Structure 1
Amino acid sequence: MTHSVKDIAMALGAEAFGAIDILIDAAAEPAAAGPSNLALAMNPKYAESLSEGKARAALLWEGADWQALGLEAAIIAPRPRYAMASLTKMLDAGQGFEAGIHPTAYVDPEAELAEGVSVGPLAVISKGAKIGANSVIGPQCFIGWNVTIGEGAYLREAVSIGARVTIGNRFRAQPGARIGGDGFSFVTAEPSSVESVRETLGDQGDAKAQEWTRIHSLGAVTIGHDVEIGMGATIDCGTIRDTVIGDGSKLDNQVHLGHNVVIGRNCLICGQVGIAGSATIGDNVVLAGQCGVSDNIFVGDGVIAGGSTKLMSNVPAGRTMLGYPATQMDKQVESYKALRRLPRLMRDISELKKAVFSTDKDT
């Protein structure tokens, strides 16, 4: 499939210049771009390598001199990276999933599939499940008992959704996402050493070794509209109430949400983040890769936590956090700089001590 430079610009809400009838079949980095590719030279740094490729047209930044760059055509966007969202959607060839229900798929007679639903090879759709119109259930997916999925869902290979999970419209799940497993909830007959440690922050008390007894998950998972779940992400059911993910939130690969976690709207939860049970995350929160959130705390609206940050207590709205244990980012950086200066400071102190003791001996 090809698109003219003019048509691409119109789809992006951008301006096109030069030979706008040039046909484009793919996007490419500037140095690797061929004559039928649109080079993504979205700032002057990237444009430096245009001469290494053979691009005739490029997506450029506002104010770029496309003719001086040796191009025949250009698309100028005020925010090129944002324009990439529409461009990549336009050029995405998809996964090749076919329409209809594959003969090797199992769809329970009491499941309800709306118009235009595609079900791939070896997929299973259980009793009472409801799948919204124009949804794609990829190969080897499992949709559990009484699951509800809204319109326009797109489930890649081997996605698993447990019983009673409710999902809104335009849901997207990457291969191997697991939604609706049991929460990690166990208890002992008598107060355990773990309970003592939580109270004392160290002393295990007189608690004896005991067996752990499962607390079953009676809740499920509720997911809003326009949510995306990455590869290998795992979302636990709630114990009594549901685990919740709000509209527009995006979870990266290997993210884990414990039982009863609540994620607000439009959050960005990056790779390998772990959020412990009953934590509450506000709206528009960004947790960078490998962040950890302790159980039963809240993280306020608009919080940003840098990579590997460990949030161990409540975080007010709007804070920018870093480190372990987490502190405000500017204070954490200041402390880190001071830590790096410690060896030099210790050497200086040692020299001062030598000088003082030498002076004492001389007097």
Structure 2
Amino acid sequence: MSYTIAEIAKALGAEAVGDTSLVIAGAAEPQSAGPEDLALAMSPKYAESLAEGAAQAAMLWVGADWQAMGLEAAIIPGRPRFAMSGLTRMLDAGQGFAPGIHPSAIIDPDADLANDVSVGPLAIISAGARIGAGSVIGPHCFIGEDVTLGEGAYLREQVSIGARVTIGKRCIIQPGARIGGDGFSFVTAEPSAVEAARETLGDQGDTKAQPWIRIHSLGSVSIGDDVEIGMGSTIDCGTIRDTTIGNNTKLDNQVHLGHNVSVADNCLLCGQVGIAGSAQIGSNVVLGGQCGVSDNIFVGDGVIAGGGTKLMSNVPAGRTMLGYPATQMDKQVEQYKLLRRLPRLLREFAELRKAVSKPDEDD
């Protein structure tokens, strides 16, 4: 795939300057860009490396002097990082999945596949599954009984979707994601030591051993439109009602959602986030890498939690959180600064105590 500078600029709604007939076949960092690459030099810091490469054209920031940089052409969007979304979409060569249904795929006669669905080698589509038009089911995928996938679904290789899961339009699911496993829900015949510990927060002493009995998952998983799910992520079925994910929410790699979790619209859940059962996550929430959310709490709309944060109680809308246990980020940073000063304060205190307790030499 290749495009002229003029074609790229038009698609991005950006300004094009210089020789707009130059043909671009790829994108590259400034120091490694070749003559047919568009160098991504979207700030003065990155532009310093242009001389190390051989780019004839670059994507620059508003007000950049492209001619002084020795370029023949430039694309100047109002918001360069946002323009990268459109540029990368244009230049993405995809995975090479062939159209049509591979002869090794196993498709139940009671499955319903719309027009233009691509099914890769060794994929399995179970009875009652409904696959929307233009969808791609990659190699070795498993689609369970009565699953619904909306139009334009794109499943990479080895995705597994359990029975009765519903997923909206234009979902993207990365390799190895598992959706619709049973929830991790067990109970004992009599109140367990775990229940007592939750209530008392104290040691339990001698306790009677009891077997854990499974609570089956009667719910499934319901996912909205334009959702993306990263590699190795796992989403449990609900116990009675569905586990749910709203529209346009994005899950990074190795994210886990427990049973009955509800995640609303436009959320970003970064790598290795874990959300325990029945937690409720509002809209526009961002959870940094390795965040943890305790069970049965709610996280309000617009909350942002930094990497490694552990949310153990309800978080009001709009808060920015950090730490373990989580506190407001500005308070957490101030506490960290004070903690770093402790060794010096202790030395000063020891010196002061020594001076005060030393006998007066004049007596």
Structure-2-length-normalised TM-score: 0.99
| Alignment-derived partner of residue 282 in structure 2 | 282
Alpha-carbon distance between aligned partners in 2 of 1:115 and 1:361, rounded to the nearest angstrom: 99
Supply the RMSD in Å over aligned alpha carbons.
Answer: 0.9
Deviation at 1:361, TM superposition (A): 7.6
Alpha-carbon distance between aligned partners in 2 of 1:75 and 1:300, rounded to the nearest angstrom: 40
Deviates more, 1:222-231 or 1:195-204: 195-204
| Alignment-derived partner of residue 95 in structure 1 | 95
Q: Does 1:113 align with 2:103?
A: no
| Alignment-derived partner of residue 63 in structure 2 | 63
Deviation at 1:235, TM superposition (A): 0.3
Gap change, CA 1:226 and 1:362, over 3 Å in 2:
farther
| Alignment-derived partner of residue 80 in structure 1 | 80
Write out per-residue CA displacement over residues 10-57 of structure 1, whole angstroms, 9 at most, x where no aligned residue: 000101000000000000000000000000001110000000000000
Instruction: List structure 1 segments (4+ residues) > 4 angstroms apart after TM superposition.
Output: 360-363
Paired residue secondary structure (2:84): helix
| Alignment-derived partner of residue 35 in structure 1 | 35
Alpha-carbon distance between aligned partners in 2 of 1:271 and 1:362, rounded to the nearest angstrom: 67
Letter in 1 for 2:266: N
Q: Is the 8 A contact 1:30 1:49 kept in 2?
A: yes
Alpha-carbon distance between aligned partners in 1 of 2:300 and 2:124, rounded to the nearest angstrom: 39
| Alignment-derived partner of residue 215 in structure 2 | 215
Alpha-carbon distance between aligned partners in 2 of 1:71 and 1:223, rounded to the nearest angstrom: 46
| Alignment-derived partner of residue 239 in structure 1 | 239
Gap change, CA 1:277 and 1:353, over 3 Å in 2:
same
Equivalent residues in 2 for 1:220-231, closer than 5 Å: 220-231=220-231
Q: Is the 8 A contact 1:261 1:277 kept in 2?
A: yes
Deviation at 1:207, TM superposition (A): 3.9
Q: Is the 8 A contact 1:196 1:203 kept in 2?
A: no
Paired residue secondary structure (1:216): coil
| Alignment-derived partner of residue 132 in structure 1 | 132
Deviation at 1:2, TM superposition (A): 1.0
Paired residue secondary structure (2:196): helix
| Alignment-derived partner of residue 251 in structure 1 | 251
Paired residue secondary structure (2:60): strand
Alpha-carbon distance between aligned partners in 2 of 1:346 and 1:360, rounded to the nearest angstrom: 24
| Alignment-derived partner of residue 320 in structure 2 | 320
Equivalent residues in 2 for 1:286-305, closer than 5 Å: 286-305=286-305
Paired residue secondary structure (2:235): strand
Deviation at 1:359, TM superposition (A): 3.8
Q: Is the 8 A contact 1:291 1:305 kept in 2?
A: yes
Paired residue secondary structure (1:341): helix
Alpha-carbon distance between aligned partners in 2 of 1:139 and 1:250, rounded to the nearest angstrom: 23
Q: Is the 8 A contact 1:322 1:332 kept in 2?
A: yes
Alpha-carbon distance between aligned partners in 1 of 2:202 and 2:319, rounded to the nearest angstrom: 29
Paired residue secondary structure (2:75): strand
Letter in 1 for 2:328: Q
Paired residue secondary structure (2:183): coil
Alpha-carbon distance between aligned partners in 1 of 2:359 and 2:70, rounded to the nearest angstrom: 73
Paired residue secondary structure (2:340): helix
| Alignment-derived partner of residue 173 in structure 2 | 173
Alpha-carbon distance between aligned partners in 2 of 1:208 and 1:350, rounded to the nearest angstrom: 50
Alpha-carbon distance between aligned partners in 1 of 2:280 and 2:221, rounded to the nearest angstrom: 14
Deviation at 1:206, TM superposition (A): 5.8
Paired residue secondary structure (2:6): helix
Deviation at 1:360, TM superposition (A): 5.8
| Alignment-derived partner of residue 15 in structure 2 | 15
Alpha-carbon distance between aligned partners in 1 of 2:268 and 2:361, rounded to the nearest angstrom: 64
Deviation at 1:202, TM superposition (A): 1.9
Gap change, CA 1:359 and 1:159, over 3 Å in 2:
same
Aligned length: 363
Alpha-carbon distance between aligned partners in 2 of 1:248 and 1:72, rounded to the nearest angstrom: 39
Write out per-residue CA displacement over residues 126-165 of structure 1, whole angstroms, 9 at most, x where no aligned residue: 0000000000000000000000000001000100000000
Alpha-carbon distance between aligned partners in 1 of 2:361 and 2:172, rounded to the nearest angstrom: 77
Alpha-carbon distance between aligned partners in 1 of 2:360 and 2:309, rounded to the nearest angstrom: 48
Gap change, CA 1:187 and 1:360, over 3 Å in 2:
farther
Alpha-carbon distance between aligned partners in 2 of 1:248 and 1:128, rounded to the nearest angstrom: 26
Alpha-carbon distance between aligned partners in 1 of 2:7 and 2:47, rounded to the nearest angstrom: 23
Paired residue secondary structure (1:339): helix
Query: Unaligned 5+ residue runs, structure 2?
Result: none
Write out per-residue CA displacement over residues 203-227 of structure 1, whole angstroms, 9 at most, x where no aligned residue: 3266411110000000000000000
Q: Does 1:148 align with 2:148?
A: yes
Alpha-carbon distance between aligned partners in 1 of 2:206 and 2:354, rounded to the nearest angstrom: 50
Query: Unaligned 5+ residue runs, structure 1?
Result: none
| Alignment-derived partner of residue 192 in structure 2 | 192
